Chains A and B, each alone.
Chain A
Amino acid sequence: AQSVTQLGSHVSVSEGALVLLRCNYSSSVPPYLFWYVQYPNQGLQLLLKYTSAATLVKGINGFEAEFKKSETSFHLTKPSAHMSDAAEYFCAVSDRRTAGNKLTFGGGTRVLVKP
Chain B
Amino acid sequence: SQTIHQWPATLVQPVGSPLSLECTVEGTSNPNLYWYRQAAGRGLQLLFYSIGIDQISSEVPQNLSASRPQDRQFILSSKKLLLSDSGFYLCAWSVTGSKYEQYFGPGTRLTVT
Q: Choose from A36, A46, A100 the contact partner of B32 (Cβ within 8 Å).
A: A100
Quick one: given A32-B100, A100-B49, A100-B51, are A105 and B43 in contact (CB under 8 Å)?
Answer: yes
What residues on A are CB-neighbors of B103 within 8 Å?
46
- Interface centre among B43, B49, B88, B92, by most chain A C-beta atoms within 10 angstroms, is B43
- Asked if A25 CB lies within 8 Å of chain B CBs, one says no
Check B57–A100 contact: CB distance below 8 A: yes
B79-96 CB contacts (< 8 Å) to partner A: 88, 90, 92, 94-96
Q: Choose from B43, B101, B105 the contact partner of A49 (Cβ within 8 Å).
A: B101
- Asked if A94 CB lies within 8 Å of chain B CBs, one says yes
Check A101–B94 contact: CB distance below 8 A: yes
Bin the interface of chain A by size.
Answer: 20 to 34
Least CB distance from B17 to A in Å reads 23
- Asked if A44 CB lies within 8 Å of chain B CBs, one says yes
Question: 0/1 per residue, A39-68, Cβ < 8 Å to B?
Answer: 001111110010100000000000000000
Check A43–B100 contact: CB distance below 8 A: no
- Asked if B7 CB lies within 8 Å of chain A CBs, one says no
- Asked if A1 CB lies within 8 Å of chain B CBs, one says no
SS of A interface (majority): loop
Question: 0/1 per residue, B97-109, Cβ < 8 Å to A?
Answer: 0111111111101
Quick one: given A43-B90, A49-B101, are A101 and B107 in contact (CB under 8 Å)?
Answer: no
Check A32–B99 contact: CB distance below 8 A: yes
- Asked if B46 CB lies within 8 Å of chain A CBs, one says yes
- Asked if B44 CB lies within 8 Å of chain A CBs, one says yes
Complex Cα distance, B100 from A94, in Å, reads 6
Closest 3 CB pairs of A and B: A43-B104, A94-B100, A51-B99
* Sample of 11 A–B contacts (CB below 8 Å): A41-B109, A43-B107, A44-B92, A51-B99, A51-B100, A100-B50, A100-B51, A100-B57, A101-B98, A103-B100, A108-B43
